[in-house]
Amino acid sequence: MIAVIQRVKKAAVSIGGMEKSAIGTGLMILLGIEEADEREDIDWICRKMVNMRIFPDEDGVMNKCLQDVEGDMLLISQFTLHASTKKGNRPSYIKAAKPDIAIPLYESCIKELSRQLGKPVKTGEFGADMQVSLINDGPVTIVIDSKNKV
């Protein structure tokens, strides 16, 4: 799993011109799921996302996590994070999980994040044509990959 984590002042996702979800201060996360992902990847990446200390403390040092600032999370599925651009100019998405594998993993990720945060995680809609807007705070953007834990 690959996650692009963005600290935001606010973020929203719309589908067909209608807002589906929105958050204020928190994390907007793009999540890419690949064929090889399993429960261990979900556990690791969720723990990292919830506990990542990227919010400023009283001294302006990034020392607080999402729960410390009582922020929200917006999770968006994004298969294009697994694009291979080694050959030619057209990205290949061969590593991205097909919906029959990706949807259950995505839903498990939502449940695990909600459990760890103690509140619901806002989402887009898997497979939909979504428009995502955000105000990146900092900007702070971090990429993590469950296949590169070491």
**Which of the residues are catalytic?**
78-80
Find how far residue 141's CA is from the centre of its chain: 11
Q: Are 122 and 21 in contact (CB under 8 A)?
A: yes
Strands (E), 16-61: 18-23, 26-32, 55-56
Q: Write the CB contacts of 134 (distance below 8 Å, at least 6 apart in sequence).
A: 6, 8, 10, 11, 12, 28
Buried b (16+ CB within 10 A) or exposed e, 103-136: eebbeebbebbeebbeeebbbbebeeebebebee
